[in-house]
Amino acid sequence: MRLSQLFSQTLRQAPADADVRSHQFLLRAGFIRQIAAGVFAYLPLAKRSLAKIEDIVRQEMDAIGGQEISMPVVHPAEIWQESGRWYQIGPEMARFKDRSGRDMVLGMTHEEVVADLVRHEIQSYRQLPQLIYQIQTKFRDEPRARAGLIRVREFTMKDSYSLDADWEGLDEQYRRHYQAYFNIYNRCGLPVIAVKSDTGMMGGSMAHEFMYLTPIGEDTLLICEESGYAANREVATFIKPAIQTGPPLPVERVATPGTTTIESLARFLNIPTSQTAKAYFAVATVPENGGYTTRFVVAIIRGDMEVNETKLANALKAKELRVANDEEIRAAGAVPGYGSAIGVRNAIVVVDDAIPVSPNLVAGANEEGYHLLNTNYGRDYQADIVADIAAAREGDLSPDGAGPLKAVRGVEVGNIFELGTRYSEALGCTFLDRNGEAKPVVMGSYGIGIGRLLACIAEHYCDDKGLMWPVSVAPYHVHLVLASGDDDRARELADALYGELLSAKVEVLYDDRPERPGVKFNDADLIGLPLRLTIGSKSLAQGGVEVKRRNRDERRIVAVDQVLQHVQDEIAALFAEIDSRVVEVDFVD
């Protein structure tokens, strides 16, 4: 491709709202253009890189037995109503009515469509296992699109779905995806880690996220460098410090004026926060009698910890969870700032699993200005649910006891879920087993955001001058620069070399524009192709063509008749570097 004919142009400055490097450079280098908030057009350079990422994804999916299909963007509401997610997902799901007044959905994921296909296509255990996948556009009406392609509303995703007769089969396909995902990211040159994660709106029994660690990430991860433990903060666990135990002591009501926080209470009584019980009041939409109802919730956790809202919502199986207001707290018989589970009315009581083994805690008396000394779970109050609802923090001891947890930021570039039978049971996806008995198909779901992956690669491979693409996903491998447009011999040789490279199937972008050399070099650095070839009066006087890798400072002069072989050798070496990254990984459950 001649740069003079390319349908895009470079920009000297990025728009003011481009706040991360990948967004700035993808805009400036002419890869993308924003059409609306979270909606982008992908120009020719981006399309070439995206196509290469998609090819890598297809190769790895095919290698584990995947069959590519294509499913619709628009779904009938009925299948989402059958699964229940029509009622569970909020405004991020785009709903509309067609001309006949029928409720429709813009697909944000495709579990329901897969289940609808499965119940018509799969009848016997002989048809299992199966693995189907697609690479397709989706829409999620994010409330806050940000960071260019990192968080968008319209996006391209590879989503695959495994279908098995039993959980053992699902485990096998899940682990194959785990390895295939590392292969994909390594072939794209992007370092990632796999972390345990919340199943969220997808449901299921197990989930992992594949994270690119970067300060611009929205997710907080807790990792242990000593053992390799890694989990999203939403589900991270830790060893909770034990406190001194002893026999239950009598409850004592004491005046504690002005102590509406755990910290002020601990100072007033001259005790550690670990000897207090903190009350967290919420309102949750929880399942009841086949539907959902709104309930007041009291969560109790030791004062030296914080409630993890995701863990609490999961313990309640809540569709929605929010902090209760003062009026709702008082209506339940509790007092803001002096609250506890003792004496509350019509509430679901959830206690953290550290509470039953932490005796004689100071808790709110549900009376203004008073607390209760020596409250004990089981004697003074009971819980409907006992679960781990504590938020892991930096410095906490990892659950394997190997060392402290460290908090890092990351961007999720992929996820895998063991869905189990949630969708197959809801939509009636059954097969006849060897004994002729109807069983639900066991499903898994696996996603990779293609555009987000491109953005993370751009974020990782750049410097202050521009992008530096890995050879496997670069839109072209070679950037040929004609540095002396007024030198007829230089132009003749550049044109000839361009033709020779094309004939040899080398991917080359030829800057034949009538621009100053400095402009061309700046644009070459900005676009970031792996190899730059420069032909001009200066290089010819030195004996040939200047060759430079984008990620190195050194330059060398190569004779014109040796350039093709040199370029091919360089490209082969770059691919060998990428291939060396693809290794077997240990599965971390």
The arithmetic mean of pLDDT across residues 54-65, rounded, is: 98
Apex CA 216: angle with CA 419 and CA 467, to 5°? Answer: 105
Asked whether residue 281 carries a pLDDT value surpassing 90, the answer given is: yes
The answer to whether the Cα torsion of 534, 535, 537, 541 is positive or negative is positive
Q: Give the mean pLDDT of 478-483.
A: 97
pLDDT at position 111? 95
User: What pLDDT sits at residue 14?
Assistant: 87
Q: What pLDDT shows up at residue 246?
A: 86
Mean pLDDT of the chain: 94
**Average pLDDT over every residue of 477-496:** 91
- d(C-alpha 185, C-alpha 195), whole Å: 15
With a cut of 60, say whether residue 201 has pLDDT above it.
no
Range of lowest pLDDT (143-152, 408-417, 425-434): 143-152
Nearest 5°: phi and psi at 45? -65, -45
Rounded CA separation 463/226 (Å): 31
Instruction: Give Cβ neighbours of residue 468 (< 8 Å, ≥ 6 apart).
Output: 461, 462, 528, 530, 550, 551
Share of the chain above pLDDT 70, in %: 99
Q: Does residue 559 carry a pLDDT above 80?
A: yes
Separation of alpha carbons 278 and 246, rounded Å: 20
Mean pLDDT across 391-404:
95
| pLDDT of the residue at 203 | 55
pLDDT of residue 573: 97
pLDDT at 533 (0 to 100):
98
Position 204 scores a pLDDT of 59
Q: Is the model's pLDDT at 290 over the cut of 90?
A: no
Label residue 63 by pLDDT band (50, 70, 90): very high
For the chain, domains (ranges, CATH) are: 18-190+419-459 (3.30.930.10), 252-387 (3.90.960.10), 478-579 (3.40.50.800)
Q: What is the DSSP string of 413-456?
A: EEEEEEEETHHHHHHT-EEE-TTS-EEEPEEEEEEEEHHHHHHH
- Residue 588, pLDDT score: 81
Q: What is the pLDDT of residue 589?
A: 74
- Per-residue pLDDT tens for 209-248? 999 999 999 899 999 999 889 999 999 999 999 888 889 9
Other CB atoms within 10 A of residue 72 CB: 10
Please tell me the predicted confidence (pLDDT) of residue 68. 98
Mean pLDDT over 161-188 rounds to: 97
Give me the residue label for tokens 């991270």: 236
Q: What is the pLDDT of residue 289?
A: 84
Residue 377, classed as helix, strand or coil, is strand
| Distance (Å, whole) CA 223 – CA 225 | 6
Task: Please state, in angstroms and as integers, the Cα–Cα distance from residue 63 to each residue in 67, 181, 210, 407, 577, following that order.
Answer: 10, 12, 20, 35, 21
